Amino acid sequence: MDTAVPAAVPERRPDGRVPLAPERIDLAEVPYAEALERMAEWVRLRREGRIADRLVLLTHPPVITYGARTPAHELPAPGPVPLVEVDRGGQATYHGPGQLIGYLIANIRERGPADIVRWMENGLVDAVARLGLTAVRRDTPRGAQSLVGVWTPEPEHRKLASIGMRIRGGVTSHGFALNVTTDLAPFRQFTACGLPDTAMTSLEEMAAALGRPAPEDARVRDAVAGALGAVS
């Protein structure tokens, strides 16, 4: 059970916004259903001002999740990997071993207008750079399927990290999924992120292309936490 503490609010910057500096919480593998229950409790406590903003880093056993607007034809046929509808933005994606999940529970009302999704994209791009690799965010053309996430540079534009968030009552939940040493085969069983022509990749694949080993889990967690300003 989480211990409720008063929520701390950092000092405002000259532009009037408060920088996001969530508390870093590291967990190991957590079943998806359990994670959803715990996240709902964190959101409730954050709305009540009883905990500070937090970035929870963890992994999940294999599961495919999708938002309410995901078309049925984009989902996989029934199989061994559980399929779960969730209350976040974005389309279908896969979670499993070798993937770093980050759930952001933050009260963005205290920070004025801000693009929290772009903040997360830019932070993950920075984290990848700290690992000695190169990634980019992409703007979505008008009328096109969302390109939110983190990608390899042109010309391949393989997708490295997916982002799907929910904001209700001024508090965020859900977050990102960064492929580290993920088995990418499950992504080919459905339309990942609503993008049928998109290939997924991992930090392991990117590093291998440079003749380097995949970065270790602890190093990836530190890079992501540092880039997103999370503090222990």
Q: Is 226 annotated as a binding residue?
A: no
- 56, 171, 193, 227: the catalytic one is 193
Map residue 213 onto helix, strand or coil: coil
Q: Is 190 annotated as a binding residue?
A: no
Q: Is 145 annotated as a binding residue?
A: no
Q: Is 89 annotated as a binding residue?
A: yes
Q: Is 96 annotated as a binding residue?
A: no
Q: Is 93 annotated as a binding residue?
A: yes
123 is annotated as an active-site residue: no
Which residues are within 8 A (CB) of 144 and not within 5 positions of it... i.e. 6 or more apart? none
Q: Residue 80 corresponds to which amino acid?
A: P
Q: Is 91 annotated as a binding residue?
A: yes
- CA–CA separation, 178 and 100 (whole Å): 5
Q: Is 225 annotated as a binding residue?
A: no
Map residue 21 onto helix, strand or coil: coil
Q: Is 32 annotated as a binding residue?
A: no
- CA–CA separation, 108 and 89 (whole Å): 17
**Nearest to residue 88, comparing CAs of 68, 110, 112, 64?**
68
Q: Is 209 annotated as a binding residue?
A: no
Q: Is 94 annotated as a binding residue?
A: yes
Which residues are within 8 A (CB) of 152 and not within 5 positions of it... i.e. 6 or more apart? 134, 135, 136, 158, 160, 201, 206
**Nearest to residue 151, comparing CAs of 116, 93, 200?**
200
8 A C-beta contact, residue 20 and residue 106: yes
8 A C-beta contact, residue 96 and residue 186: yes
8 A C-beta contact, residue 208 and residue 214: yes
Map residue 149 onto helix, strand or coil: coil
Q: Is 72 annotated as a binding residue?
A: no
Q: Is 163 annotated as a binding residue?
A: yes
Enumerate the known binding-site residues: 88-95, 162-164, 175-177
Kindly list the catalytic residues.
193
Enumerate the known binding-site residues for substrate: 88-95, 162-164, 175-177
